[in-house]
């Protein structure tokens, strides 16, 4: 089956790239009047919806028996075995504001297991991809997580709470600790990009809560296939649907988890 995963992955890369290129063209003449709100600080544009429809149509050709878990809900069919987990535009606020960090993120579940992950970062024309037991790649070159083992040398990434503020005090306490103990903390505005950057060693770790499956599916597989570790805050594996994630190069994962649970 691994060869099939590889084939599916490489074909998914083309779908993600094509969608991203169309998205970049749309941005040049973006119509801000068509922005909608799904909830507090949670925006969606016609670009998100049209991109999702286009991606799903292509993935249906690729794997006709598959189902979909997609952010904009343009298709909620579930497959008996395979299900694609799609964020057609991760970083919508960046896209709307003209900040050039936004991604197409596509993961594939075989049963409960992630087996394909593709993140296409549009602004830099960077396609990150991985398949089960195949390693992780960026534009054809194999990538690995960083080898930094001291938290004081680490560059961390996070995403700020934007709608669920029930855990904000705990979040701020950990952020304070991270700012005091790490080399720096960054916030890109796209969890898919954050995870891809952990996978290639630009970031050494990433944490965030209140994320959805489509935010983290592809990126989490990238990190694992690049040699890193991914978990929920308790150190378990409920990061896809558990709405919290920690990803790192693995060398100071225990330290991160201890502080998150302090």
Sorted by where each begins, the domain ranges of the chain are: 2-143, 151-260
Question: What pLDDT is attached to residue 41?
Answer: 43
Per-residue confidence (pLDDT) for residue 43, from 0 to 100? 46
Please answer whether residues 127 and 139 qualify as being in contact, where contact means their C-beta atoms are separated by less than 8 angstroms: yes
Domain 151-260: assigned CATH number = 3.40.190.80
Which of 212, 172, 192, 207 lies closest to 94 in space, CA to CA?
192
Is the pLDDT reported for residue 34 higher than 80?
A: no
Per-residue pLDDT tens digits for 156-198: 999 998 888 999 999 999 999 999 999 999 999 999 999 999 9
Instruction: Count other C-beta atoms under 10 Å from residue 153's C-beta.
Output: 12
* pTM recorded for the entire structure: 0.93
Superfamily for domain range 2-143: Fructose-1,6-Bisphosphatase, subunit A, domain 1 (3.30.540.10)
Q: Can you give the pLDDT at residue 163?
A: 80
């Amino acid at each position: 089956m691994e060869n099939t995963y590889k084939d599916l992955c490489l074909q998914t890369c083309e779908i993600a790239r094509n969608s991203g290129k169309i998205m970049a063209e749309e941005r040049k003449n973006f119509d801000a009047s068509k922005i909608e709100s799904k909830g507090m600080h949670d925006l969606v544009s016609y670009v998100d919806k049209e991109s999702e429809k286009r991606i799903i149509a292509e993935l249906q050709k690729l794997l006709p028996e598959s189902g979909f878990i997609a952010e904009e809900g343009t298709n909620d069919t579930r497959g008996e075995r395979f299900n694609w987990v799609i964020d057609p535009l991760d970083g919508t606020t960046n896209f709307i504001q003209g900040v050039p960090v936004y991604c197409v993120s596509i993961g594939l579940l075989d049963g409960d297991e992630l087996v394909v992950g593709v993140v296409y970062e549009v602004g830099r024309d960077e396609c990150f991809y991985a398949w089960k037991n195949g390693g992780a790649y960026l534009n054809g070159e194999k990538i690995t997580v960083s080898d930094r083992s001291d938290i004081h040398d680490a560059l961390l990434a996070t995403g700020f709470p934007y709608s669920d503020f029930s855990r904000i005090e705990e979040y701020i306490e950990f952020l304070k600790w991270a700012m005091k103990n790490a080399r720096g903390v960054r916030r890109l505005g796209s969890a898919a990009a954050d995870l891809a950057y952990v996978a290639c060693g630009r970031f050494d770790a990433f944490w965030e809560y209140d994320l959805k499956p489509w935010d983290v599916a592809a990126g989490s597989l990238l990190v694992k296939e690049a040699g890193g570790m991914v978990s929920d805050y308790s150190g378990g594996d409920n990061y896809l649907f558990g709405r919290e994630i920690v990803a790192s190069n693995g060398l100071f994962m225990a330290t991160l988890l201890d502080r998150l649970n302090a």
